[in-house]
Amino acid sequence: MTQTYDTLHYLPESEYYDLFGALRDFTTLLLFEFARSPSGVRDTVIRNFIARGAATLDSISRLWPQHRYGDCWALFRTLVDRLFHLHVLAERDEFELFDDWSFVKQFEARNRALSDKEFGPRLDHSAFHTTEAQKSRYKSLKAKNLVWSRPNPEHAARSLGLPFLYTFAYDFASTHVHPMANDGEQEFLALTGLKPGDAPLDNRVVLHNSALVHTVLLQHALNSSTFRWRNLIYDFVDAARRALTGDLQAYRLVFIKIGHAGPEVAWSERSSQGA
């Protein structure tokens, strides 16, 4: 997935922006489907994952024109990590456990901030308000001694059947998350206007990879939810992925079909397991 991948040909910048916009609008359509009826923990987590994924994609598209490529790669890594989490949660059916674990971790982080002797008294306590119901839930969950750990990225990629997502995506992008001796070099050149001594990296790679990973995230979200989705929904995800190989019309045509169907169309229905 890096620029050394021989058969890869990048799209013009404008095509990535068009594709990102379509993916954002399509993801929003899915989010309204999740919102049409009350959702359980499984669908709520999935809904949140794809919403955050779309927001991450949007952030990358805004940072890229400013030559903030390191930030784009760091955000891309979070997108890959979200995909790994979703896959493992679905594979192990651990959505409920993950929700409980997340609540405990966030509750304790909030309490640590409030209990800090130096800064705790200065905090706006209204922003850290804890209800009696939340306190009760925390006590109940702590009594259960919950055990959950985040997935190992390399193992998750292998389990996903896409081991290259670790080597060429997560691990590669991690070099832009953790401090390295030469990070900031691209930012130095962008801020000063000086020319690089070596041939510059084709930074469209991070746009390309981000779009690809978001389509995989959407695919797994659809498959892991308790909804049964219309074929046209899957057609769009497939067409969006094929756009990255040069087929730039298919996803546009599918999206037009979705738009012509009108706002009254239900794009999913609850499966028996979600009823």
**CA–CA separation, 32 vs 26, rounded Å?**
10
Q: How far is CA 243 from the centre of its chain?
A: 19
Q: What is the pLDDT of residues 190-241, one digit of tens each?
A: 888 888 766 667 899 999 999 999 999 999 999 999 999 999 999 999 999 9
DSSP string of 95-120, one letter each residue? HHHHHHHHHHHHHHHHHHHHH-TTTG
Residues of the chain with pLDDT under 70: 1-8, 120, 122-123, 197-200, 272-275
pTM of the model as a whole: 0.89
**Which among 152, 273, 257, 262 is positioned nearest to 223, based on CA atoms?**
273
- Domain assignments of the chain as residue spans, ordered by start: 13-94+153-274, 95-147
Helix (H, G, I), strand (E, B) or coil at 268: strand
| pLDDT value, residue 65 | 94
Q: What is the mean pLDDT of the chain?
A: 90
Q: What is the pLDDT of residue 5?
A: 32
Q: Could you tell me the end-to-end alpha-carbon distance of the chain, in angstroms, rounded to an integer? A: 40
Residue 230 vs residues 214, 221, 235, 259: alpha-carbon distances, Å: 19, 14, 9, 14
